């Protein structure tokens, strides 16, 4: 068995899911605001972010959470495989108004197996550090 598995039916504790990188720009934040209905000003207004004492416009924590679980669903190829998903948001993600925005590297590692349900610990790392803490998903494996 390889330690990085692209086949969900060949997992063991310690198996690494194929990592992925995700880019987030101001455009992403605006689109996510519209799609989610979260129009909090700190996610698009520099003035509002500064007034709230933030170093800049920050991403929706829920956007980071949505991007991070893709490491699982891209692997199982089944969004409905996620039975449970939780995280703490450890620090804000500042998204500058540039073409590049920010890049997040998402990884996942199998930490437990219980019959056809596995637990995956998820990490979402941006240049300045980890964005999530204690992120994990319970995932049903395909039969």
Partner 1 sequence: MPLNKAYIGRRFGPAEPYDVSRTAVQRFVDAIGDDLPVYASTAAAQAAGYDTIPVPPTFAIILVSESPDHHPIFEPEFGMQYDRVVHGQQEFIHHRPLRIGDRITITAELTDISTRGRNETVTIETQLVDEAGEPVCTAINTLVSRGTAPKEGAE
Residues that bind partner 1 (CB under 8 A): 22-23, 28, 31-32, 34-38, 40-42, 48, 51-52, 60-63, 65-67, 69-70, 73-74, 77-80, 82-89, 92, 137
Task: Say how far apart CA 91 and CA 142 lie, in whole Å.
Answer: 34
User: Is residue 87 a contact partner of residue 122, using CB atoms and an 8 Å limit?
Assistant: yes
First to last CA, the chain: 19
Residue nearer to partner 1 on the CB measure, 13 or 35: 35
Residue nearer to partner 1 on the CB measure, 14 or 142: 142
Provide, rounded to whole angstroms, the least separation between the CB of residue 86 and partner 1: 4
Provide, rounded to whole angstroms, the least separation between the CB of residue 100 and partner 1: 15
User: Is residue 5 a contact partner of residue 15, using CB atoms and an 8 Å limit?
Assistant: yes
Provide, rounded to whole angstroms, the least separation between the CB of residue 52 and partner 1: 5
Name the phi and psi angles at 84, rounded to 5: -155, 140
Angle between helices 61-68 and 26-36 (to 10 degrees): 90
Provide, rounded to whole angstroms, the least separation between the CB of residue 119 and partner 1: 14
Residue nearer to partner 1 on the CB measure, 14 or 40: 40
**DSSP letter, residue 90:** -
Residue nearer to partner 1 on the CB measure, 3 or 23: 23
């Amino acid at each position: 068995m390889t330690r990085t598995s692209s086949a969900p039916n060949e997992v063991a504790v310690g198996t690494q899911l194929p990592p992925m990188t995700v880019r987030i720009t101001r455009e992403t934040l605006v689109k996510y605001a519209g799609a989610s209905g979260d129009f909090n000003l700190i996610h698009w207004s520099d003035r509002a972010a500064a007034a709230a004492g933030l170093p800049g416009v920050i991403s929706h924590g829920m956007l980071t959470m949505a991007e991070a679980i893709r490491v699982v669903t891209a692997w199982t190829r089944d969004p409905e495989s996620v039975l449970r998903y939780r995280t703490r948001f450890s620090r804000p993600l500042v998204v500058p108004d540039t073409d590049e925005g920010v890049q997040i590297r998402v990884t996942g590692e199998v930490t437990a197996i219980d019959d056809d349900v596995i637990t995956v610990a998820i990490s979402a790392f941006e240049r300045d550090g980890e964005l999530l803490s204690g992120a994990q998903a319970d995932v049903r494996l395909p039969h």
